[in-house]
Amino acid sequence: MYDDDAAARLELVRTLRDLGISLAVVRQLLSRELSLPDVAATHAQALEVHIRILQRRRAVLTAIAHRRPAPEEIDLMHELVRLSQDERRRLVAGFLDACFTDSGVATELPAVVRSMTPHLPDDPTSEQRRAWLELERMMQDDDFRALLRRLAEGHMADRPPGRTGPRRDVAAIVHEQVTRALDAGIAPTSPRADPIVAELATRYSLLAGRPDTTELRARLLSRLKTINDPRREEYLRLLAEINEWSAPETLTPAFDWSIQALASRVDAQSA
């Protein structure tokens, strides 16, 4: 009853239906009222949007499964995942401005701001989407913004008057000086730690352009306690995953050692 053309026509209809094209549109295609390439392009764009929505939902559900957030956090994550690309750019710009503009870092050290800027790829992996969701949540956190402002203000306060351009920061000095103490198993309160603490204080005094005094060591101790906030390291870890950078080395052990070593000596000198 049916020839090969009818079978081919039926197969085309089944294929188009499997691709989600309605019977009304299929009828228009078969009668040549619509162009197949145009319909295919339109449906491909619609599917792309739907895929992105599904990926965002998957990121939220995965984050919920991993973190077990409170109900209000779930509401926040749901709102964040619905942000458009432009809204996300505005969120990042507002976050960076709030953290780095008033301190002068954005103007004098734009490379620092660039190093803290996330760039989600056009086709991110599920891990990058999950990391972005966590990062968006952090960027919305007023306490975390306040922490980064304190870090930026301390960074600028460590610069001697008239000093411009990039230079080593406190974290780099700690990593350089304390790693050998950790490798050697030197306790932070032991006499063997004295020369390492002295060198750490000397490097910081050179950085800040001020003499090595008890007051300066107390200031360094305060700076290290702020830098050692685990949220800073978590932000850097998420940032590296999103931007496809190498995972940052944890400096928590070096900061812990430095804080304990400095605290014991500053307390002893102040007593």
- The pLDDT of residue 75 is above 70: no
Pick the closest to residue 95 from 195, 239, 198, 191 (CA basis).
239
pLDDT of residue 67: 67
Q: What is the DSSP letter of 190?
A: S
Q: What is the DSSP letter of 102?
A: T
Whole-model pTM: value is 0.69
Pick the closest to residue 80 from 135, 123, 127, 121 (CA basis).
135
CA-CA distance, 248 to 234, in Å (whole number)?
10
Whether 147 contacts 226, CB under 8 Å: yes
Span 158-176, average pLDDT: 75
224 or 79, which is more confident? 224
177 or 53, which is more confident? 177
* Angle between helices 142-157 and 230-243 in degrees, nearest 10: 100
- The pLDDT of residue 226 is above 90: yes
Of the listed ranges 74-88, 174-188, 251-265, the least confidently predicted one is 74-88
Of the listed ranges 8-22, 33-47, 86-100, 189-203, the least confidently predicted one is 33-47
pLDDT of residue 186: 95
Whether 150 contacts 226, CB under 8 Å: yes
Length of the chain: 271
**Can you read off the two tokens belonging to residue 21?**
């094209």
**pLDDT confidence bin for 36, thresholds 50/70/90:** confident
- The pLDDT of residue 234 is above 90: yes
Span 46-55, average pLDDT: 68
- The pLDDT of residue 107 is above 80: yes
CA-CA distance, 224 to 197, in Å (whole number)?
13
Of the listed ranges 37-41, 112-116, 198-202, the least confidently predicted one is 37-41
Whether 139 contacts 96, CB under 8 Å: no
Whether 198 contacts 235, CB under 8 Å: no
CA-CA distance, 132 to 53, in Å (whole number)?
15
List, in order, residues 6 or more apart from 184 with CB less than 8 Å away: none
pLDDT of residue 240: 96
CA-CA distance, 132 to 126, in Å (whole number)?
10
Whether 148 contacts 94, CB under 8 Å: no
Computed over every residue of the chain, the mean pLDDT equals 83
- The pLDDT of residue 184 is above 60: yes
Span 151-161, average pLDDT: 84
- The pLDDT of residue 80 is above 60: no
**pLDDT confidence bin for 53, thresholds 50/70/90:** low
Query: How do the residues of the chain divide into helix, strand and coil, expressed in percent and rounded to 5?
Result: 75, 0, 25
> What residue spans define the domains of the chain?
1-34, 49-142, 169-270
Whether 170 contacts 207, CB under 8 Å: yes
CA-CA distance, 185 to 179, in Å (whole number)?
10
Whether 63 contacts 77, CB under 8 Å: yes
Q: How far is CA 28 from CA 20, 25, 33, 84, in A?
A: 15, 5, 5, 34
Instruction: Work out the percent of the chain whose per-residue pLDDT is above 70.
Output: 85
Whether 68 contacts 132, CB under 8 Å: no
